[in-house]
Chain A
């Protein structure tokens, strides 16, 4: 049986992400953090910008939604090209390396971001397990 593939940044993909993340990352693994994050994928294949909005409460991802048009405010906003996020989602590139190269931009308090970066890595590792079509 062929493995079901999810289209990157589709509502189905987002549903799968939240399902897998909450299955595999316990609140303890997520250090009971409460925060919000917006990852803006610029220049998607259809030319639009799309964002993933994460709401995390006490270590549980309570919302993960795909946004278009006007983006909501979040504690951290991460902006990069669609292809770069695709590489990160495929675990071909670490988010930290993308940030250090300047290809990815972070808006938000850096001290807290550094503290949370291992958690974002964990999140990305789970996302990388999802069969995804880009």
Chain B
């Protein structure tokens, strides 16, 4: 990946120094002397670099932050990030260079006489690579800095990253454009009987190749990259996670193609569905239900509506049409730069670290409009996912691939 852009004319420009200053202003307001970020979402949002290894960012009250990552990847992170190599340090299994010692050396100068407040990122998540501070890290740092106060402060980054800036939005648009290229190629490949004799993994690989050729950095999802399901796998109960398997595609079965592309840490995510012919009347009935629901859902997203209000409207429609029992009663998940994938908004709902169902969407927020239809007894199901931007009057769907469930 080339060094991050600093030109404001670049459509993908993000003002990272401003992000750091905004965090520092919030730290000042909350009496935090130094901030220790460890979540993947915080690292992506502040560094503009993908950090696959356990990494940290230490943000002082003023001036540049310092990132810390596994030494084998520190030079690459420095190369990708807007920070220079003086501000991206490596840690490793050597005396004085383990994570805790390096963090201690970075944090301690900002505590007066060892006393002060350290902002940390603690919590839990459904998302495996979330990156909250571990108990072991916390205990070691607490032992090294016994007079300091540790305060959970991830709300600062969550609050600041909620409304997306233009550069971030443009990166998402580009990631979605790339995903659409992947879908077009998959469509070309599987039509006219092309699907016969191939497996789900082959579709995932074909899409990965064309999307990478178009500029995608990675099929980013921790759910196994491009998710492909066919036949009974499309209809697994509440089955919102289908890493591609070696199952072969067969006539008469449904096929779900959920592609992921990453562009400058922005995430493309579009799921499209097919019926591998010949399709039965009943399969077509299921398909029409789903497409109509997606259309309605996309029309309904707007500022001021909440996830629970939207779910109520959608489930009423499902009930009227007689397919409510097949719907997973959720219609979105959160999205942001790499690592920010599940919870929407702040941690202010009735269940800690889950989306607040009464969160009111605002213009400038992004989510993945996501729906899962599953009928296990008939071995059929569908998925829709598309990054959407909440606008002043509704929403912008980022992927433009035509919404339909074709019989091929």
Q: Do A and B come from one complex?
A: yes
A104 contact set on B, CB distance < 8 A: 95-96
Measured between beta carbons, the chain A residues less than 8 angstroms from B85 are 109, 111
Q: Does A24 contact B (CB under 8 A)?
A: no
Question: Does residue A101 face the partner (Cβ distance < 8 Å to B)?
Answer: yes
> How far apart are A67's CB and chain B's nearest CB, in angstroms?
19
Bound complex: CA A85 to CA B78 (Å): 33
**Bound CA span A102–B98, Å:** 9
Q: Cβ of B94 and Cβ of A100 under 8 Å apart?
A: yes
Q: A111-B71, A111-B75, A111-B85 are in contact. Are A105 and B90 (CB under 8 A)?
A: no
| Interface size class of chain B, counting residues whose CB lies under 8 Å from the partner chain | 10 to 19
Inter-chain contacts of B71 with A (CB < 8 A): 110-111, 114
- Which residues between 82 and 138 of chain B lie within 8 Å of chain A, taking CB atoms? 85-86, 89-97, 101-102, 105
> Does B74 interact with chain A (Cβ within 8 Å)?
yes
Task: Tell me the number of A-to-B contacts counted with CB atoms below 8 Å.
Answer: 47
Which residue of B86, B95, B105 is within 8 Å of A103 (Cβ)? B95
Q: A98-B95, A110-B92 are in contact. List 9 more A-B contacts (CB 8 A).
A: A99-B94, A99-B95, A100-B93, A101-B95, A106-B94, A107-B96, A109-B89, A110-B91, A110-B102
**Counting chain B CB atoms within 10 Å of each CB, which of A79, A98, A110 scores highest?**
A110
Chain B residues with CB below 8 A from A110, complex form: 71, 74, 89-92, 94, 97, 102
CB-based contact A106/B89 at 8 Å: no
Q: What is the distance, in angstroms, from A34's C-beta to the closest C-beta of chain B?
A: 15
Cα A53 to Cα B75 in complex, Å, equals 27
> Chain A residue with minimal CB distance to B94?
A99
> In whole Å, how far is B143's beta carbon from the nearest beta carbon of chain A?
16
Contact of B97 among A98, A101, A103, A106 (CB under 8 A): A106
Minimum CB distance partner of A112 in chain B:
B85
A-B contact pairs, 22 of them (CB 8 A): A80-B95, A99-B95, A99-B97, A101-B95, A102-B94, A104-B96, A105-B101, A106-B94, A106-B95, A109-B85, A109-B90, A110-B71, A110-B74, A110-B89, A110-B91, A110-B92, A110-B94, A110-B102, A111-B85, A111-B90, A114-B71, A114-B90
Q: Hey, what's the 0/1 contact readout for A46-89 against B, CB within 8 Å counting as 1?
A: 00000000000000000000000000000000011000000000
Q: How far is the CA of A104 from the CA of B93 in the complex (A)?
A: 11
Complexed CA–CA distance, A94 and B96 (Å): 17
CB distance from A101 to the nearest CB of B (A): 7
Cα A105 to Cα B301 with chains together (Å): 56
In the bound complex, how far is the Cα of B77 from the Cα of A111, in angstroms? 12
Task: State how many angstroms separate the Cβ of A95 from the closest Cβ of chain B.
Answer: 10
Residues of B within 8 A of A109 (CB): 85-86, 89-90
User: Which residues from A are CB-within-8-Å of B93?
Assistant: 100
- Bound Cα distance A130, B94 (Å): 28
- CB-CB < 8 A to B96: which residues of A? 79, 104-107
Q: Which of B74, B96, B102 has the most CB of A within 10 A?
A: B96
- Which residues of the other chain, A, contact B78 by a CB distance below 8 angstroms? 111
- The digit string for B43-55, where 1 denotes a CB below 8 A from any CB of A, is 0000000000000
User: Are B74 and A105 in contact, with the CB atoms below 8 A?
Assistant: no
Choose one: B89, B94, B101, B105; the contact of A111 (CB below 8 Å).
Answer: B89
- Closest chain B residue to A79 by CB distance? B96
